[in-house]
Amino acid sequence: MNYKTLVFDFDGTIADTLGETRLIFNRIAPDYGIREVAEEELNHLRHLSLKELLVHLNIPKRRVPALITRGTGMMRGNITQLQLISGMSEVLVELRRHSRSFGILTSNATANVDLFLRTHGLREQFDFISSTSKLTGKAKHLKAIRKTFSLRPEEMLYVGDEIRDVKASQKAGIPIAAVTWGFNSRESLAASKPNYLFDQPTDFLRLLSEQ
């Protein structure tokens, strides 16, 4: 495999957290004067960029860090009950065999990710878990990770399920694999022009045959 280090987003990429995230959001939305999100609205939201999403839900950008901190704190109580994306466990183990280092960069809390991975027997596969409470702060973190591991940009791959993940990787000059089973739709992800677009976890195995 061409990539020495693989870094994964968590929510929607490894963990199936969308339903839980909506429930938590709706629980705290009234405290911030924000309207709740109906389940039937999710399909429309999947086509929106982060900026469009915040405008659509009328969420001031300054409120985002507080929402993330409170929401991830509430998620901790139920994190061990959430499901792994079907097929990801086997793929992660196989990819790890061909990588120098494995990590996670997420907007979720590191404690949540650590507990989830331990619950599913995957914690030992990852060398690090990094978190940012800024929805648009991943590019800076990706650059820092690359420098920490002394990698050229083309030796590292980020994996995420949102348009903002694609944009962060592109800003950091790092290749990105977008997965279509998370938050953003296949169409919106394709329009953002990721290096790879995967529709199922087994698609990752194509990386092993690249020369």
State whether 42 and 113 are in the same domain: no
Per-residue model confidence as pLDDT tens digits over 149-170? 999 999 999 999 999 999 999 9
Give the pLDDT of residue 66: 87
Per-residue model confidence as pLDDT tens digits over 188-198? 999 999 999 99
Per-residue model confidence as pLDDT tens digits over 24-70? 999 999 998 888 999 899 999 999 988 899 998 888 888 888 888 89
State whether 152 and 49 are in the same domain: no
- Among 80, 103, 130, which residue terminates a domain? 80
Please, which pLDDT band fits residue 211 given cuts at 50, 70 and 90? low
The span from the CA of 186 to the CA of 180, in Å, is 5
Residue 60 lies in domain: 18-80
Domain tally for the chain? Answer: 2
The span from the CA of 115 to the CA of 86, in Å, is 18
State whether 115 and 160 are in the same domain: yes
State whether 96 and 66 are in the same domain: no
The span from the CA of 111 to the CA of 113, in Å, is 6
Give the pLDDT of residue 62: 85
Per-residue model confidence as pLDDT tens digits over 58-108? 888 888 888 888 999 999 999 999 999 999 999 999 999 999 999 999 999
State whether 149 and 184 are in the same domain: yes
Distance between the two ends of the chain, CA-based, in angstroms? 7
* pTM for the whole structure: 0.93
Please, which pLDDT band fits residue 136 given cuts at 50, 70 and 90? low
Q: Is 79 in a helix, a strand, or coil?
A: helix
Contact 167, 135 (CB under 8 A): no
CATH number of the CATH domain containing 199: 3.40.50.1000
Burial (CB count <10 Å: 0-12, 13-18, 19+), residue 205: middle
Contact 182, 18 (CB under 8 A): yes
Give the pLDDT of residue 113: 97
